[in-house]
A = this chain, B = another copy of it.
Amino acid sequence: MSIFETLESEVRSYSRGWPVVFDRAQGSWLYSEDGKAYLDFFAGAGALNYGHNNPVLKKALIDYISRDGVTHALDMFTVAKRDFLETLNDVILKPREMDYKVIFPGPGGANAVEAALKLARKVTGKESVINFTNAFHGMTLGALSVTGNSMKRGGAGIPLVHATPMPYDKYFDGAYPDFLYFERLLEDSGSGLNEPAAVIVETVQGEGGINAARLEWLKGLSELCERHDILLILDDVQMGCGRTGPFFSFEEAGIKPDMICLSKSIGGYGLPLAITLVRPDLDVWSPGEHNGTFRGINPAFVTAAEALRTYWRDDELEKSTKAKGERVGRVFTELVDSYPESNLVAKGRGLARGLEFPDGEIAGKVCAQAFERGLLMETSGPDGEVVKLLPALTTTEEEIEQGLSIIKESVGAVLSR
Contact = CB atoms under 8 A, between A and B. Distances in A.
Contact of A68 (B53, B68, B289, B299): B53
A13 B105 CA distance: 12
A192 B292 contact: no
Given A133-B188, A190-B148, A194-B153, A108 B294 contact: yes
19 contacts: A4-B81, A8-B104, A10-B101, A15-B75, A18-B76, A22-B79, A23-B79, A25-B69, A52-B72, A71-B269, A107-B107, A107-B272, A108-B293, A114-B140, A133-B190, A147-B192, A150-B191, A160-B194, A172-B181
B8 A101 contact: yes
A65 B68 contact: no
A416 interface: no
Interface string A153-176: 111111111111101000110011
Among A33, A86, A153, the most chain B Cβ lie within 10 Å of the Cβ of A153
A82 interface: yes
Interface stretch (A115-123, A221-229, A335-343): A115-123
Binding site of A, secondary structure by majority: helix, strand, loop or mixed?
loop
A85 B7 contact: yes
B82 A21 contact: yes
Interface residues of A, number: 152
Nearest to A69: B24
Interface in A228-247: 237
Identical chains in the assembly: 4
Contacts of A210: none
B149 A190 contact: yes
Given A118-B155, A192-B148, A47 B23 contact: no
A322 interface: no
A289 B152 contact: yes
Interface string A174-201: 0110001100110011111111010000
Given A76-B15, A139-B292, A263-B293, A71 B158 contact: no
A272 B292 CA distance: 11
- 8 pairs of A and B residues whose beta carbons are closest in the complex: A121-B157, A72-B270, A190-B382, A148-B192, A161-B161, A141-B142, A13-B288, A11-B285
Given A108-B106, A383-B189, A10 B285 contact: yes
A381 interface: yes
B11 A70 contact: no
A14 B78 contact: no
Interface in A28-49: 30, 33, 44-48
A71 B61 CA distance: 12
Among A61, A68, A172, A209, the most chain B Cβ lie within 10 Å of the Cβ of A68
A96 interface: no
Among A1, A19, A47, the most chain B Cβ lie within 10 Å of the Cβ of A47
A283 B6 CA distance: 11
Contacts of A190: 133-134, 148-150, 208-209, 381-382
A74 B30 CA distance: 13
A139 B101 contact: no
A24 B297 CA distance: 13
Contacts of A191: 133-134, 148, 150, 165, 382
A151 B18 CA distance: 45
A167 B184 CA distance: 9
